[in-house]
Amino acid sequence: MFNIAIFVGSLCYGVVYFVLLRKRGKLSDAVIMLLLCGFIAGYNAPYIGKRWPTVEKLYNGLYTPLSRYIFSHLLSFNK
């Protein structure tokens, strides 16, 4: 319920401000707002929300090999 409220709320916020900013002649701001709110809604969207990217997932993928090498091989640190 809470997730759906955030999903719908962020989409509505994006669309409302897209229209308002476009009326004020700030097209690039309007497009960024729509994209940002769409991205936010994606986190709570049904089915795809769990697979939406987070910094934790990205950095786990990027840094785990390096971290494993430094902590396990160089420092022999296992905690």
Partner 1 sequence: MIVKEKITHLQLGFLLFGFIAGFESMFLTESKLMKQDVWIANLFNTAAGLALFWIISFVQRQFPNLNLTEICDKLLGRWFSKVLLCVYLLNNLETISGGFRAVSMFYTTVILPNTSSDYLIFLYAACSTYAVYIGLGTLARTNLVILPFFLLGFLVTCLFIIPEIQTNPFLPQLKSSLPNRLVGSMHLFTFTFSQVITFGFLMSRVENMKKIFPSCAIAILMTNIYLIMISYLTLSSLGFNYVQTSTYPFFSTIQMVKFGEYLERIEVLLVGLWTVLTLVYVAVMQYVFTLVAGHVFGISKMKPFVVAMGLLCFVHTSKSYIRTADHFTYGIKIYPLSSLLPCIAFPVLLLVMTLIKRRREVKSL
Enumerate binding residues for partner 1 (CB under 8 A): 2, 6, 9-10, 13-14, 17, 20-21, 26, 28-29, 32-33, 36-37, 39-40, 43-44, 49-50, 52, 54-56, 58-60, 62-64, 66-67, 70-71, 75-77, 79
Please choose, from the candidates 16, 20, 14, the residue with its C-alpha nearest in 3D space to the C-alpha of residue 33: 14
Place of tokens 């936010």: 40
Compare residues 46 and 75 and give the one whose CB is closer to partner 1: 75
Closest contact distance (angstroms) between CB of 47 and partner 1 is: 14
Q: How far apart are CA 44 and CA 12, in angstroms?
A: 14
According to DSSP, residue 37 is labeled H
